[in-house]
Structure 1
Amino acid sequence: MSDNQSWNSSGSEEDPETELGLPVELCGVLSKWTNYIHGWQDRWVVLKSNTLSYYKSEDETEYGCRGSICLSKAEITPHDFDECRFDISVNDSVWYLRAQDPDHRQQWVDAIEQHKTESGYGSESSLRRHGSMVSLVSGASGYSATSTSSFKKGHSLHEKLAEMETFRDILCRQVDTLQKYFDACADAVSKDELQRDKVVEDDEDDFPTVRPDGDFVHGSNSTKEKLFPHVTPKGINGIDFKGEAITFKATTAGILATLSHCIELMVKREELHWPTSLPSGDAYSAVGTHRFVQTPYSRSSSMSSIDLVSASDDVHRFSTQVEEMVQNHMTYSLQDVGGDANWQLVVEEGEMKVYRREVEENGIVLDPLKATHAVKGVTGHEVCHYFWNVDVRNDWETTIENFHVVENLADNAIIIYQTHKRVWPASQRDVLYLSAIRKIPAFSENDPETWIVCNFSVEHDSAPLNNRCVRAKINIAMICQTLVSPPEGNKEISRDNILCKITYVANVNPGGWAPASVLRAVAKREYPKFLKRFTSYVQEKTAGKPILF
Structure 2
Amino acid sequence: MAAVRRPTKSLSEVNENKDDVLLKVRGIMYKWTNFIYGWQKRYFELENGVLVYYKSESEKQYGNRGSIALHVARLVESDIDFNRFDVLTNDSCWYLRTENPKFRYLWLRALRYQMVGSTNKPKNHCSTNDSTKSTDCEQSSLSLQLTNKMEQLERFNDMVERQAARLENLIYSIKDNKENTSATSLLDESIALNAVTIAVLQNINTCVHLLAKQAKVSRNQCYSEHYETEHEVIANNSSQRIMMNQTSVLDNVFLSDDDEQEWHDAYDSTPENRSVIKEPSFSEKQTTRMPNSESTTETRNENYPGIAESPPKDITLPTSNPFAVEINQIAMEQLKYARSGIYDDVWQLFMEKDEMKMYRRELEINGLVCDPLKAVHFVQGVSAREYIHYFFEPRYKHEWDETLVKTEVIERISMDTVIIHQLHKRIWPSAQRESLFWSNVRYLPEEKSSEALDLYMVCNHDCNVPNVPLQDDSNVRVGLTVTMLCETLVKDGHKKPVVELKRNDIQCQVCYCAQINPGGWVPASALRVIYKREYPKFLHGFTKYVLNKIKAQPLMI
TM-score range, shorter chain: 0.3 to 0.5
With normalisation by structure 1, the TM-score equals: 0.41
With normalisation by structure 2, the TM-score equals: 0.41
Higher relative contact order (CA 8 A, sep 6+): 2
Which protein has the larger Cα radius of gyration, Structure 1 or Structure 2?
Answer: 1
